[in-house]
Chain A
Amino acid sequence: MHPALQGLITIIIGVGGCVGYFFFSNYLLDKFLLPARAMTAEQTALRRSLGTIFLFAVPALLVLALYVTAIGVGSIASAGGMFWLLVAVGLIFGLWRLKDFVFASGPTTAGHNISHANMIRPWLFLAPAILALGLYLTYPVFETLRLSLVQRNGGVGFGNYTFMFGEQKFWEAMRNNMLWLIVVPAMSTVFGLLAAQLTDRISWGSIAKMMIFMPMAISMVGASVIWKLIYESRPVDVEQIGILNAVWVAMGGEPQQWLTLPVWNNFFLMIVLVWIQTGFAMVILSAALRGIPEETVEAAIVDGANPFQIFFKIKVPQIMPTIVVVWTTITLVVLKVFDIVFTMTNGQWGTQVLANYMYDKLFRANDWGTGSAAAMIIMLLVTPILVWNVRNARKEMR
């Protein structure tokens, strides 16, 4: 089958599935489980017994059958068997409670049914997302933690971590990550703020904004390829195809292998991310700048502030919360930076970063333990910033 057709079918199934789930879960809830009408005691008793069969007994038997086939009665005494047994019992207990919640005893009013349906509805809608996130996000976190603690020799401990901390390449990655952490968010935010302020005051500002925002639409790998061409080098006697070398040679320099110059090459990589993230910072900050009441600026003019004072003492403090959110958001991107380093230098010549180090260990060296340990370190660094960022964003919204 043609790949485009496959893609189209995937989209149709996906979107159709979402719509269908929305429609049928509502239908089930409002027509069968909790119809919006009053019921007498006899009616509820009948519904209760039916419910015990269909909402409790059948699913509970299914869970049990699943347990028996997947785990087997024989391994019930092992740690895994015990764990899954607990899960199954928990599920069955949950079904029992759900049945009690949905099918009340005694006469009920329409209002009782509607309010109970509305309590179940959000969970029903969230269920697929919770399941998917649990499977693809929460479970891997714990699995990675487990892998990072399992050593080569099969023992459990911090051996992977001590091995990693002893590696020179890890500390190089740490150092570079810190460098990225300082330079990229700062530069992106500053450039974004400048672009936002300056493009607001010129007639072709929206075109300029579009141009600055455009790199956001390019994938990191695409951007890396573009910049690799910019840093491209040719021998002295050949015409330079990389623009940086072309300019450099025109100014009388020797052509350089920019990406192999130690320490500097880190900054050449950072420029790529700054180039991408400036657009993001600009768009958010430009909206924030427009939200500043014009009259406060006019009051500052009357008070005798010059344009710089207006910008730094009136405008910037008023959008400080937004600047912080932009800064931390970019910080999160930076902590996870992988694609740029992977495509441009692959961590050679002293440009290693944590994410690429993790990739090297996990998928090149097949060293699951050390790779997972590196992943845990990245998560440890990201989590506090992420929590802070979410808090700030919430405060912004209020």
Chain B
Amino acid sequence: MAGLNLTNVAKSYGDVDVLKDINLDIEAGELIVFVGPSGCGKSTLLRMIAGLEKITAGELQIDGLVVNDVPPAQRGIAMVFQSYALYPHMTVRDNMAFALKLAKLSKQEIDDAVNKAADILQLTPYLDRLPKALSGGQRQRVAIGRCIVRDPKVFLFDEPLSNLDAALRVATRLEIAQLKESMPDRTMIYVTHDQVEAMTLATRIVVLANKGISQVGTPLDLYERPENEFVAQFIGSPAMNLFPGEITETGEQTRIALEGGHGSILSAYPSTEADKGGKVNVGIRPEDLQLTDDAENSFTGTVNVQENLGEVTLLFFNPDKEGVDPVIAKLPGIHRGLKGETLNLTANPGKVHVFMDGKSMLYR
């Protein structure tokens, strides 16, 4: 129903740039998730879309109309705040009806909308309670209900699950996914720092870093084909291992000699003759590393710490030098007594990412 277009959108406080040159097209009906490290400006961007922060440069269109100077209430958006921001002095019913009362709807219309939303969110028994008499999850649902009754074009969620405990977080995440499914034509924008939420909910993920957009893509796109080292390490847990190395063979596939005499490794990334001898970083996800007997073309290291999680075993290898992150391997199943062992690791060439100057060689 309503798409959003951000063109060169920027935010600065005085001389300090917080965000710059944000270009993003959001299709109607998408669930877009903004992720990024804390302080990357993801909440600020959401609040700019909501109209709570001024857009200092660029243009924001909702449904084809420029809304830079349109007050929040007339943008056709509704927002769920991190702390829920329920009005503490109003009952659940009044909380949900507040916007409609301000819009001067008839009593009948208001009652219908509130009852319908309460029905969807299973809040009917609590309609006459004050927010303080509700649990965290129920408050969260009231906050969502307050959005639903207004029937907005765009839903905005600002870290809505961060105040819930772990079990409730999973349940509410599913509820939000179902809510989205029941309203396929509504656009939703969701801010989180939790990559599990991002991966499970998003149609497309927007990774924000360094005052701008690092990559936009479907969750699996970001996982399988990260555009740069930042996205590669941000998506996935534990983070992707990076090995410095040098290109030795080019062509359809690329062979890279790992620094520090760790052997060489083959990647399915294509390269040209000119790349030969280029300094690159090889990225391999912990879960893509496999044990091998081949001591030649593999990474060799000594296990420093072993963590047994049952379903997987995490191995932390001694770093080459001080201050470097240890290489981590995630092996499926249970492996006993690997601590102190020297092991050889390799990976399927298709799972070996190559980054030159921080950028993936796939996207050159």
Contact = CB atoms under 8 A, between A and B. Distances in A.
B102 A317 contact: no
Nearest to B143: A299
Contacts of A320: 89
Nearest to B152: A302
Interface string A301-335: 11111000100011001101000000000000000
A318 B88 contact: yes
Given A293-B83, A295-B83, A302 B89 contact: no
Interface string B73-94: 1100111011111111110000
B315 to A, nearest CB: 44
Contacts of A305: 73, 98, 102
B81 A295 contact: yes
Contacts of A43: none
A293 B139 CA distance: 15
Contacts of B50: 302
Interface residues of B, number: 26
A392 B102 CA distance: 32
A299 B87 CA distance: 9
Contacts of B83: 293, 295
Interface string B16-55: 0000000000000000000000000000000000111000
B189 to A, nearest CB: 14
Contacts of B81: 295, 298-299
Contact of A303 (B51, B82, B84, B98): B98
Contacts of B51: 301-302
A296 interface: yes
A295 B159 CA distance: 13
Nearest to A294: B85
Contacts of B89: 317-318, 320
B356 interface: no
A302 B88 contact: no
B90 to A, nearest CB: 8
B72 A302 contact: yes
B81 to A, nearest CB: 5
Contacts of B150: 303
A295 to B, nearest CB: 4
B88 A296 contact: yes
B309 interface: no
Contacts of B87: 296, 299-300, 314, 317-318
Interface in B129-165: 146, 150
A302 B102 contact: no
B142 to A, nearest CB: 11
Nearest to B78: A302
B86 A302 contact: no
B103 A302 contact: no
Contacts of B331: none
Contacts of B127: none
Contacts of A293: 83, 85
A374 to B, nearest CB: 41
Contact of B99 (A295, A296, A298, A303): A303
A298 B81 CA distance: 9
Contacts of B84: 295
B102 A301 contact: no
A302 B73 contact: yes
Contacts of B90: 317
B52 A302 contact: yes
A300 B77 contact: no
Given A298-B52, A299-B79, A304 B85 contact: no
Contacts of A300: 87, 98
B170 to A, nearest CB: 24
A121 B98 CA distance: 54
B82 A295 contact: yes
A158 to B, nearest CB: 47
Contacts of B86: 296, 299
B98 A302 contact: no
Contacts of B71: 301, 304
B72 to A, nearest CB: 5
Given A317-B89, A320-B89, A302 B77 contact: yes
Nearest to B73: A304
A291 B148 CA distance: 28
B79 A304 contact: no
Nearest to B103: A304
Q: Which of B71, B74, B82, B85 has the most CB of A within 10 A?
A: B85
A169 B50 CA distance: 64
B102 A296 contact: no
A304 to B, nearest CB: 3
A48 B71 CA distance: 81
A296 B88 CA distance: 9
Interface in A21-52: none
A295 B146 CA distance: 14
A301 B72 contact: yes
Nearest to B47: A298
Q: Which of A304, A309, A314, A320 has the most CB of B within 10 A?
A: A304
Contact of B52 (A301, A304, A309, A317): A301
Contacts of A301: 51-52, 71-73
Interface string B109-124: 0000000000000000
Contacts of A314: 87
A309 B102 contact: yes
A331 to B, nearest CB: 23
Nearest to B88: A318
A53 B87 CA distance: 66
Nearest to A304: B73
Contacts of A303: 73, 98-99, 102, 146, 150
B195 to A, nearest CB: 25
A25 B87 CA distance: 51
B99 A304 contact: yes
B103 A298 contact: no
Interface of B: 50-52, 71-74, 77-79, 81-90, 98-99, 102-103, 146, 150
8 contacts: A295-B81, A298-B81, A302-B51, A303-B102, A304-B72, A309-B102, A317-B89, A317-B90
Given A296-B87, A300-B87, A304-B103, 15 more contacts: A295-B83, A295-B84, A296-B85, A298-B85, A299-B146, A302-B50, A302-B99, A303-B150, A304-B72, A304-B74, A304-B99, A304-B102, A305-B73, A317-B89, A318-B89
- Shortest beta-carbon contacts, A-B, top 6: A304-B73, A295-B85, A303-B99, A299-B85, A317-B89, A295-B81
